[in-house]
Structure 1
Amino acid sequence: MGPLSPLVTTLRRTPPLVFAMAVLATGLVVSSSVLVKGVRRGNDTITVTGSSTERITSDFVDWTVDVARSAPTLQASYQELQPEVQRTIDFLRQQGIPADAISRNPIKSDKSEVRDSRTGELQSTTFTTRQQIRISSPEVEKVAAVAQQIGELVGQGVPLTINDPAYTYTRLSEKRVDMLAKATRDARLRAREIARQAGSHIGVITQADTGSFQITVPNSTEMSSFGSYDTTTIEKDITAVMGVTFRVD
């Protein structure tokens, strides 16, 4: 952060400070940014933005693969699907995924028709039956490894659509409280230094505004004013922002 003195624009009596949460529009992870419109003695206030960032490790994974079979009749597509679903489940079990972590979503079927473009006469009908297999587990690393290996089944002829695992953090509510407290402390340190440059002192907190949380891939610069939650990586960065208004003594 550059010299602090330019941030304090005036020491005369001016309207109370300030709207600090604009940091979300300019860069939530730029922890050095501080918005200040004025500092003065008496009952005036100063509002600054504090932030805190930590690296967290996902503790739960939700992953799906879709198995599908097509045939001229609905019955045939269903019958051909069943052994492929079983082969997929057997593979997951062989890789160490427990049975209680594996579930099957309801079977779905679609019908497609091919017609003569000139006469509209029906030429063929194809039924596609599919079933989604879901893996939900706290064994994040194990499931991630299996997701890298399941492509072997495709090589063996199993008609799979492999979706990306979604990695999440289940203790986010607990972490949120801790992160906000750290962001508030960060705001106090900044406000104290700004006030010191102006020959003033920081008093009690008069208002605190919580910004949106950003959960991103490590070292990401992406952000959203509504908050973000990346599920593509096991390791994540979580950033919290607080706009805190202090009385200036």
Structure 2
Amino acid sequence: MDISHLIHMNTNFPKSFAWILGLSIIIAFAVFSYSFYSARQLDNSLSVTGSARKQVVSDSVKWMSGFSRTVLQQDLKSGYAQMAKDQAIVTKFLQEKGIADSEINISTVFMGQNYYYDKGASTPKEYNLNQTVEVKSSDVQKITDIAKNIQGLIDQGVIFSTQNLEYYYSKLSELRVSLLAEAMKDAEARAKSIVESGGAKVGPLKTASMGPVQVLSVGSQDVMDYGSYDTSKIDKDVMVTVRAAYTIK
């Protein structure tokens, strides 16, 4: 066997291994550097939220109310007759207050039986007769005042009940467009205040998405993920938010 040949192989093996190892390190470093550079390029943006808010006054109102009678089974006929009289009284009352017929909607009579489980089977059946009254109007203040003063109906023997009024703003679609533009300006201003403090500049807009419209009580921060519409107050705040991403230069 040629011993000198084996010795020659053993001395060359470490050199070959070192050369391969060094080349691998260089390639790995190059790949890492490129990946890091690419990641910096892909992440060279800033996302901010902008908002705009404006106070508005409701221009329409919905008033839900109703009247009722409770009668025994044998008195149903007279009960329905009394409901007809009550309806005439309610209609006249609203008309005299200046509410137009086109703004008034009175439902048909709904009848429901009352059940008393602590009474015997011989107890006469008792029924509730109900009608709902819906008033929709653009005269917000007039309807608000009328709803607060229904004593005239009570004085005439009508068993009348009223619910909370609901106030709406009809120009929400138009307002949303102008608020969106203001919200975008706010988002850009926020981006500049963040970026320019670090010596960079805000570049072109990359993406933008609009959040749900929030109709809130004045000064409220009770926003919801899917939007909200507070109907309890005449005065409202309408708020729009946008999420914008800008390129950083």
TM-score range with shorter-chain normalisation? 0.7 to 0.9
Deviation digits for residues 53-88 of structure 1 (CA, Å, limit 9, x no counterpart): 110111111111111111113222211111112211
Deviation digits for residues 112-139 of structure 1 (CA, Å, limit 9, x no counterpart): 244665xx42312112211111111111
1:111, CA displacement in angstroms? 1.6
Q: Is 2:97 aligned against 1:95? A: yes
SS in 2 for 1:225: coil
Count of matched residue positions in the alignment of Structure 1 and Structure 2? 212
Q: Percent identity?
A: 27
Which residue pairs with 2:6 in the alignment? none
Larger radius of gyration: 2
Which residue pairs with 1:174 in the alignment? 174
1:156, CA displacement in angstroms? 4.3
SS in 1 for 2:225: coil
SS in 1 for 2:148: helix
1:157, CA displacement in angstroms? 3.0
Q: Report the residue type matching 1:82 in the other structure.
A: A
Q: Is the 8 A contact 1:52 1:183 kept in 2?
A: yes
Deviation digits for residues 77-118 of structure 1 (CA, Å, limit 9, x no counterpart): 21111111221111111111112111112321112244665x
- In 2, Cα distance between the equivalents of 1:135 and 1:98? 9
Could you tell me the TM-score, scaled by structure 1's length? 0.78
Which residue pairs with 1:112 in the alignment? 114
SS in 1 for 2:233: coil
In structure 2, relative to structure 1, the CA distance for the partners of 1:48 and 1:113 (3 Å cut) is closer
In structure 2, relative to structure 1, the CA distance for the partners of 1:247 and 1:75 (3 Å cut) is same
More helix by share: 2
SS in 2 for 1:131: strand
Deviation digits for residues 182-213 of structure 1 (CA, Å, limit 9, x no counterpart): 11110001111211101111111111122222
Could you tell me the TM-score, scaled by structure 2's length? 0.78
Q: Is the 8 A contact 1:191 1:202 kept in 2?
A: yes
- In 2, Cα distance between the equivalents of 1:87 and 1:208? 57
Q: State the superposition RMSD in angstroms.
A: 2.2
Deviation digits for residues 203-227 of structure 1 (CA, Å, limit 9, x no counterpart): 1111112222211111113221221
Unpaired runs of 5+ in structure 2? 1-35
Unpaired runs of 5+ in structure 1? 1-12, 17-39
Q: Is the 8 A contact 1:202 1:248 kept in 2?
A: yes
Which residue pairs with 2:215 in the alignment? 215
- In 1, Cα distance between the equivalents of 2:223 and 2:137? 28
In structure 2, relative to structure 1, the CA distance for the partners of 1:14 and 1:239 (3 Å cut) is farther
In structure 2, relative to structure 1, the CA distance for the partners of 1:174 and 1:216 (3 Å cut) is same
